[in-house]
Amino acid sequence: MAMTTSVADTRLLLTLEFPPDDNVKVKVERLIQEELAGKLLIPTIVLTEFLKVAGARIGVEVALTRIRILKNRGARVISFDEQQALAAGKMLLSHPELPIADAVIASLVSTRKAEYIVTNDPHFEATGIKNRWL
């Protein structure tokens, strides 16, 4: 069976760090484990958003430690390249309401570097980009 490549949205990392209840905590931990068993990509923009939110709540060093833990478990950080930049720009022309960070994240799927986004963010629905959630 081929490994499935997915891309983490910021919501995934924030839900992992700050689950609203024990039920969601169990589900998100299981989801992370499944995604890490495949190939989970974390775009650099997700690191930026995660550090902004989590760093304010738990401190920068703890947030950086959480990122290191995910990387040590097999997540791979991926930088934004020219092909993705152009794909994100085209997506924004078709969906001007889409936040730029979400277009950057979705560009990994539209350029076939990943098969889906791990998120429940409704912004992605309008783009037709495949996603998965709890």
- Planar angle of CA 87, 91, 92, nearest 5 degrees: 120
* List of residues 6+ apart from 127 with CB closer than 8 A: 91, 94, 95, 98, 106
pLDDT at 4 over 90: no
Q: Please state the rounded mean pLDDT for residues 102-120.
A: 95
| DSSP letter, residue 30 | H
Q: Please state the rounded mean pLDDT for residues 3-30.
A: 96
State pTM to two decimals: 0.93
CATH superfamily for domain 5-124: 5'-nuclease (3.40.50.1010)
pLDDT digits (tens, 9 = 90+) for 37-49: 999 999 999 999 9
Would you say 50 and 63 are in contact if contact means Cβ atoms under 8 Å apart? yes
Q: Residue ranges per domain, the chain?
A: 5-124
pLDDT at 12 over 60: yes
Backbone angles phi, psi at 77, to 5 degrees: -80, 135
